[in-house]
Structure formats: C-alpha cells, structure tokens
Amino acid sequence: MWSFSSCASAPKEDFSLKTIPLATRPKNIIFLIGDGMATAQVSAHIYWSGIGKSIFEQFPVVGFHKSHASDYLVTDSAAGATAFACGEKTKVGAIGVLPPDERPCKTILEELDAQGMATGMVTTCTATHATPASFISHLELRALTEEIAAEYLKTNFDCLIAGGEQLFNQRYDKINLLDSLRAKGYVVRRGTNFRKLPLDGSKPFVHFTHEMEPPTASGGRTYLPPATKLACEFLQKRSDKGFFLMVEGSQIDWACHTNDKSWLKAEMADFDLTIREALRFAMQNGETLVVVTGDHECGGLALASQGNSKKYFTPTFSTRVHSATMVPVYAFGPGASLFSGVYENTEIYNKMREALGR
Ligand code: MG
Ligand code: ZN
C-alpha cells in the first residue's frame, strides 16, 4: 500500500521544458523505451514519487500509440520494437523482419548510421534481448540470441552498453565475437566502471555490464542513468552529423511479468533518473529531440483503491503477460510537437525521420 503523497523518490527539479530556445530541427535523437511501461506504470510512479515530482509531468508534448502487432492485438517486445525501428507492423516474436515472407527491414539505427550519424544503445538487459535486437538485427525469432549477437558485426554502430557478454564469447559455434569486434576497431570492456572507455570519441566501444542479464534496480543496478549521460556525450563527439541513441529501461517489463510492485517501483525510479539525464543533455544542447515511450503494457496493472479507503492505492495486476492498452509517448525538443495525438506505434519511426528531415 502507498499513499499518494508518500515515498518521494526523485528530487523536485524544474526543467522548464517549455521555455528554452530550440533549433527548428533536431540534430540528435534520444529515444527512451520503458519496456512494459504504459499509463498505469507511469501513474503508479507519479503517486509513489509524490505528485508533481516525477519527470513525466514536465513534458510539454504527450501522445498515445496503439501497440498491436500485425498478427495479434497484444504485442511483444520484438514486434513492438520492430515497429519503432522500421515503421512497419510485424508478427509477435519477429526481430527486424516483416510478414509475410520475413523480409528484413532497414532500421532507423542502420539508416542513420549509413547516413553518417553516430549511433548507440544502452539497455538493462542483454544486447541480444528483443528490444535492442530489433534495432540492429533481422531474424524471424527473438529466441535466436547467438545469431542476433553476430548481427552486431554488420552495422558500424558507435557504442553499446548492455548485458550479455556470454552470447558473444561463449558460443556454440566457438566464434569469439569480442575478437571480431576488436578486429573492427571496437574497444571492448566489461563491468560497471566506465572510466577506461575511449570517452574522447576516438574509438567506438562495446561495454558489457554483465555476463548475462544485469541485476534489478532494487538489487543494486545503478548504471542506466550515468551510462545514458556518457553515451550522449560520447556520441556527440563521434559525428558532426548528429546522433541516434536508443535507451531501454528493460526490466520495468520483467517486474510486471512477475507482478512485483517493489521491483516495478525501483525500475520506474531508475528510468525517471535516466530520462532526466537525457533531458539535461537536450536542454544544454538545444538540438536534441527526446522521445520517451513504452513498447506495450505489461501486467494489466490497475491502481485500485485499497479496500474502502479512497486515500490509498494498491497496485493490482490482472495478468502475468502483456495487455493491449494504449501507451503514452512523451516528447521534448525540436520536432516534439509531431508526437501529440493518437497514432500507430509505427508512426514513431515516421515522426523521428520527419523531425530529422531524413
Ligand atoms: Mg525489452
Ligand atoms: Zn514482456
């Protein structure tokens, strides 16, 4: 049980998001995905934080997307992220490929990389998990994780911070993809100390935070906010044409699958701090579009009143899987106004491309 005014987790910070002068077109995009995060997850976070204190309340532009896949009303993270990455609906479980014949679709990360922009991803899951995988690989099934890892060699992305090192160096095919990455010029590191990365922008890098899945936010994982800040500053040095960074709060979804409200609370607080880092960069930079959304709802979460009391709420899950509710989209920066309204999840791809003029 939580009262609506207790548990302030984030400091009050006024970003004055509506008032800073901005370029007419963004040079950079920071795209943040809260996996499994829809209106109920954000609402719970708002009441846990104390009304007026969450970052979500400060965005000048809010819209909604319809998350359904090409084959099912209730989507998954593979079809959900492919819709964002390629601007096309695909089947549940498919990564960067389209029906009916599993034709690969070029992702926004691949397209912008080919146009000379710097690109990167930061996640709190393995690099081969469905959400990051859908931006850089093309496979009919999300479960093909070793194949997904190999696809990282096909795009000249600039930085990756994620779990899942074992999928690159302890493989059934015995190929050490870390050696392959090094041969391509990447600095490869592990752990949660980022100081030895080539932060001057001289070389691209891959940094594994864990061998497989990183720990939970309530279990001591703290790297997502600082890694997001670091990635923005690094990518800015990598190309004068701008950058595209995808950041995922991966475990909001896992907390909801487990119906674990304490875990959810910690993941939402961590994602809030991460969004703040993106907005701080964007505020200072003036040429950065920040888009925050979820890929789908998870857990069928309701903020039910606690017993007869209307003063308190008990987060109540109605399922252990995803649900079809619409998902909010928050935007700030040049091009943000494109993101108001109600639209298909595929429109997020189109809107990001339109904002960039590319
Ligand atoms: Mg995910
Ligand atoms: Zn899920």
Nearest bound ligand to the CA of residue 142: 1
Report the pLDDT value the prediction gives residue 312, as an integer from 0 to 100: 84
Nearest bound ligand to the CA of residue 131: 1
Report the pLDDT value the prediction gives residue 18, as an integer from 0 to 100: 61
**Residue 298 Cα, ligand 2 centroid: separation in angstroms?**
6
**Residue 223 Cα, ligand 2 centroid: separation in angstroms?**
21
Question: Looking at 43, 54, 70, 77, which residue is catalytic?
Answer: 77
pTM of the entire structure?
A: 0.95
Report the pLDDT value the prediction gives residue 311, as an integer from 0 to 100: 77
**Residue 192 Cα, ligand 1 centroid: separation in angstroms?**
20
**Residue 182 Cα, ligand 2 centroid: separation in angstroms?**
33
What confidence tens digit (pLDDT) does each residue in 108-125 have?
999 999 999 999 999 999
What structural domains does the chain harbor? 26-356 (3.40.720.10)
- Whether 9 is catalytic is no
As to burial, measured by CB atoms within 10 angstroms (0-12 exposed, 13-18 middle, 19+ buried), residue 76 is buried
Nearest bound ligand to the CA of residue 82: 1
Strand partners, 206: 160, 188
* Alpha carbon distance 314, 114 (integer Å): 48
Report the pLDDT value the prediction gives residue 24, as an integer from 0 to 100: 86
**Residue 295 Cα, ligand 2 centroid: separation in angstroms?**
9
Reading the chain (358 residues) residue by residue, the pLDDT tens digits are 444 343 344 455 666 666 677 778 999 999 999 999 999 999 999 999 998 899 999 999 999 999 999 999 999 999 999 999 999 999 999 999 999 999 999 999 999 999 999 999 999 999 999 999 999 999 999 999 999 999 999 999 999 999 999 999 999 999 999 999 999 999 999 998 999 999 999 999 999 999 999 999 999 999 999 999 999 999 999 999 999 999 999 999 999 999 999 999 999 999 999 999 999 999 999 999 999 999 999 999 999 988 777 778 899 999 999 999 999 999 999 999 999 999 999 999 999 999 999 8
Closest CA to 116 of 235, 287, 282, 288: 235
Query: Which residues crowd ion ligand 1, with CB under 5 Å?
Result: 35, 77, 131, 250
What secondary structure, in 3-state letters, does the chain show? CEECCCCCCCCCCCCCCCCCCCCCCCCEEEEEEECCCCHHHHHHHHHHHCCCCCHHHHCCEEEEEECCCCCCCCCCHHHHHHHHHHCCCCCCCCECEECCCCEECCCHHHHHHHCCCEEEEEEEEECCCHHHHCCCCCECCCCCHHHHHHHHHHCCCCEEEEECCHHHHCCCCCCCHHHHHHHCCCEEEECCCCCCCCCCCCCCEEEECCCCCCCCCCCCCCCHHHHHHHHHHHHHHHCCCCEEEEEEECHHHHHHHCCCHHHHHHHHHHHHHHHHHHHHHHHHHCCEEEEEEECCEECCCEEEECCCCCCEEEEECCCCCEECCCEEEEEECCCHHHHCEEEECCHHHHHHHHHHCC
* Alpha carbon distance 346, 191 (integer Å): 35
Residue with tokens 């060699």: 153
**Residue 60 Cα, ligand 1 centroid: separation in angstroms?**
26
* Alpha carbon distance 145, 141 (integer Å): 9
